Amino acid sequence: MTSRSGPGRPRGGRPAPPAKPPHRAEEPRKTLRIAGLAAVSALFARDADRVERLFFDARLKDAAGDFCRTMAALRRPYRMVDAEELAKVAGTVLHGGIVAVTTPRPVPALDTADAPRWAAARQPLLLLDGVGNPHNLGAIVRTAAFFGLPRLVVSDHPAQALPSEAAHRVAEGGFEWLELWRAERFAATLKRLKPAYRVIGTALDPKRPTVGVEALTRPGPPIALILGNEEEGLPRATLDACDAVLTIPGSGRVQSLNVAATAAILINALAAGRV
């Protein structure tokens, strides 16, 4: 009597060995190009081990000397190149004469269990909900670092910009001095912050009662301040989760300030109210 084998089953009833999965090329590890002397200097000062390669032109040969010595100690490549090659490395002519190729810092999920400790230290909290322009993000980070804010939280808004090469270039090294966190389910996150912080959003809604900039310096709990999308402002769910809404009064000649300009005014007030 002869045996019969079905598809994929050899004679004798033994199962066929599993097919080998198709070969996949390993995805290249992502890198970030940090351009400009201020940004590269901050990177080397704060976390030189993240730098994988360094390029600079003749103008910055002397300024790059310490960086080159650090790279040599780390056994990593560095090179002086001409302007054309540096522009190719940077992906832009706006490189300021020096580019560090680095591994991006992760943006971890925010744990609101840390909020009471931050609040006890009188540390204000700056949050962005839908700020989509990377240049605005970079300008806000630069201002926050200038005034000594310790951290920045970005929301899960689909338009929200995250650290990019353009944002780093505008931030002038500010990203290296801030803790950056990402908050999922943003409105729910704001509610969890409330035991420790007074949550204030920013809006131009004339139908909604508002407070002025002076609210950021009043005695009481430290402030968690939220800035919104450049075109649409803060989402309704975010505004509804706030303890108060702040508006900067103007002349009425133009509708509003750029979000980075608004941030500069309000971050200055936040820093003044920390004491």
256 pLDDT band, cuts 50/70/90, is confident
Mean pLDDT within 24-33 = 62
Phi, psi of 99 (to 5 degrees): -140, 130
Write the pLDDT tens digit of every residue in 111-133.
999 999 999 999 999 999 999 99
Write the pLDDT tens digit of every residue in 183-209.
999 999 999 999 999 999 998 766 666
26 pLDDT band, cuts 50/70/90, is very low
Cα(137)–Cα(131) distance, rounded to whole angstroms? 7
> What value does the CA radius of gyration of the chain take, rounded to a whole number of Å?
25
pTM, full prediction: 0.85
> Do residues 107 and 154 touch, judged by C-beta distance below 8 A?
yes
So what's the pLDDT on residue 10? 44
Cα(82)–Cα(64) distance, rounded to whole angstroms? 15
Q: Pinpoint the alpha helices (H) of 147-244.
A: 165-171, 186-193, 236-240
Looking at the predicted structure, is the pLDDT value of residue 23 above 60?
no
